[in-house]
């Protein structure tokens, strides 16, 4: 990859990156790695433990999310089901499944390191999100740094300020502890404070760390790539959020500090390391996620209950 991935970068973007929501032009939608055929091939052999398939309720049934499986359908049929249904498929950590996506991600971050002084995250991952016409991603915030790259179709993205009341330390603690991003309170009046941007193929969106956002697909199949990255300050904030969430939920103590240096930080780092893989955290997380449907081969866009006879 010798051609630049960002095709319209100028020095204002270097100054604004990470501080303001930014919509920029890119060329990944023209790459053969992101054609519908290449995506179908990818789905054909995608490991079960690396994807999430989520079915959404009918319009108006907010927060009706369920997790399911593709049921071994060929990738082309999975994409067709999504095109006709109300679902999204997240091919998580695609850079670990196919080397070519890792190379693309590395090229992207090398380019960003050249363009944004001091920006060189130690860790980056990406996922490919295939979602139905009019599907929504509800209001939420993410702990890692994130951007969204539009490949096929179009969507409208609302980006809110990364400050209270839109996001509070307690929200970030809950995300770190329970591994679920969608329980943040949202009110329609928040939208008056959002930046609202439409994304078409060849556009990407970057926003400040932890800025809440929500997404509405337009009336077409959507394929996007989500990119997440962690540098040292972000890594330490994640540790503090997890430790403070444990203090609050496991030990009933109101966290007093969000410092990412000093003795308080280091004792939290030790505590969360001791507890994070333990039975209590596993139980709390499992209670918030369960797989209960798979795609119906005979009826594209429809699902079968996993407990029901196929």
Rank residues 81 and 146 by Cβ distance to Fe ion and give the closer one: 146
**Beta carbon of residue 88, minimum distance to Fe ion (angstroms, whole number):** 12
Cis peptide before 165 (omega within 30 of 0): yes
Rounded to whole angstroms, the Cα distance separating 243 from 226 reads 26
Name the closest residue to Fe ion (Cβ).
142
Options 13-21, 86-94, 141-149, 258-266: segment touching Fe ion (CB under 5 A)? 141-149
Rounded to whole angstroms, the Cα distance separating 220 from 205 reads 19
Token pair for 185: 């309170």
Rank residues 116 and 182 by Cβ distance to Fe ion and give the closer one: 182
Q: What is the largest CA-CA distance in the chain?
A: 59
Instruction: Give residue 120's region: left, alpha or beta (phi > 0; psi -120 to 50).
Output: beta
Rounded to whole angstroms, the Cα distance separating 101 from 33 reads 8
Element (H, E) at 136: strand 136-140
**Beta carbon of residue 49, minimum distance to Fe ion (angstroms, whole number):** 21
Residues 180-219 that bind Fe ion (CB under 5 A): none
**Pairing outcome for strands 65-69 and 291-295:** parallel
300 CA to centre of own chain: 25
Options 75-83, 142-150, 202-210, 285-293: segment touching Fe ion (CB under 5 A)? 142-150
Rank residues 81 and 241 by Cβ distance to Fe ion and give the closer one: 241
How many Cα neighbours within 13 Å face the side chain of 146?
16
Rounded to whole angstroms, the Cα distance separating 196 from 294 reads 34
Rank residues 135 and 303 by Cβ distance to Fe ion and give the closer one: 135
**Beta carbon of residue 213, minimum distance to Fe ion (angstroms, whole number):** 6
Options 41-49, 83-91, 95-103, 134-142: segment touching Fe ion (CB under 5 A)? 134-142
Options 136-144, 169-177, 191-199, 273-281: segment touching Fe ion (CB under 5 A)? 136-144
Rank residues 17 and 160 by Cβ distance to Fe ion and give the closer one: 160
Rank residues 158 and 293 by Cβ distance to Fe ion and give the closer one: 158
Rounded to whole angstroms, the Cα distance separating 224 from 130 reads 7
Return the residue of 41, 80, 98, 142 that touches Fe ion, per CB under 5 A: 142
**Beta carbon of residue 47, minimum distance to Fe ion (angstroms, whole number):** 22
**Beta carbon of residue 252, minimum distance to Fe ion (angstroms, whole number):** 30
The site for Fe ion (CB under 5 A) is made up of 142
């Amino acid at each position: 990859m010798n051609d630049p991935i960002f095709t319209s970068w100028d020095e204002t973007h270097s100054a604004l990156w990470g501080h303001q929501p930014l919509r920029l032009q890119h060329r990944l939608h023209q790459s053969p790695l992101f054609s519908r055929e290449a995506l179908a091939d990818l789905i054909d052999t995608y490991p079960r433990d690396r994807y999430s398939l989520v079915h959404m309720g009918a319009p108006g049934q907010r927060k009706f999310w369920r997790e399911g499986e593709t049921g071994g359908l060929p990738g082309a049929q999975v994409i067709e089901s999504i095109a006709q249904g109300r679902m999204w498929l997240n091919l998580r950590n695609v850079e670990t499944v196919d080397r070519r996506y890792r190379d693309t991600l590395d090229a992207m971050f090398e380019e960003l390191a050249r363009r944004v002084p001091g920006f060189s995250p130690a860790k980056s991952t990406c996922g490919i999100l295939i979602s139905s016409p009019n599907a929504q991603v509800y209001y939420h915030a993410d702990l890692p740094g994130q951007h969204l790259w539009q490949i096929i179709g179009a969507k409208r993205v609302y980006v809110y300020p990364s400050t209270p009341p839109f996001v509070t330390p307690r929200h970030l603690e809950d995300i770190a502890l329970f591994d679920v991003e969608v329980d943040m309170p949202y009110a329609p009046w928040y939208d008056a404070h959002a930046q609202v941007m439409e994304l078409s193929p060849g556009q990407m969106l970057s926003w400040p760390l932890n800025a809440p956002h929500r997404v509405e697909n337009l009336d077409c199949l959507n394929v996007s790539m989500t990119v997440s990255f962690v540098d040292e300050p972000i890594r330490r904030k994640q540790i503090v959020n997890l430790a403070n969430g444990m203090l609050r939920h496991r030990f009933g103590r109101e966290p007093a500090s969000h410092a990412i240096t000093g003795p308080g930080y280091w004792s939290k780092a030790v505590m969360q390391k001791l507890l994070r893989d333990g039975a209590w955290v596993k139980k709390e997380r499992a209670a918030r996620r369960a797989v209960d449907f798979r795609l119906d081969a005979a009826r594209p866009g429809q699902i079968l209950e996993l407990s029901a006879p196929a």
